[in-house]
Amino acid sequence: MNIFVGNLSRETADADLRQSFEAFGQVTRATVITDKFTSESKGFGFVEMSTKAEADAALAGMNGKELHGRALNVSEARPRPERSERRDGGGNGGGRQSW
């Protein structure tokens, strides 16, 4: 089960997330989301737990808990909305039209 973790401090790293959530079970993945240009934390991340029971325990135990001086906002992650390949709706890449 995938868990959303918000309100992370800038200094929180993947290893910090993993260590915090391991108290509730096996963490299969822990990732702090970073800006692709600056590599700075965007202030949220995701933790994947191996079972729903462990994830439920982590949700209850970690929501509101402090990590690096910030109270975490923890909830079940929602699926990412699907994005269309064609953003402009026309399939011409949105470039300049030749008339």
pLDDT in tens, 37-84: 999 999 999 999 999 999 999 999 999 999 999 999 999 999 878 876
CATH architecture of 2-76: 2-Layer Sandwich (3.30)
Locate 96 and state its tokens. 């300049």
The predicted pLDDT at position 87 comes to 56
For residue 27, the one-letter residue type is: V
User: How many Å apart are CA 69 and CA 66, to the nearest integer?
Assistant: 6
The domain locations on the chain are 2-76
CA dihedral over 71, 21, 63, 46, signed as positive or negative: positive
**pTM of this structure:** 0.79
Q: What percent of the chain has pLDDT over 90?
A: 78
Beta strands in 7-76 (DSSP E): 27-34, 41-49, 66-67, 70-71, 73-76
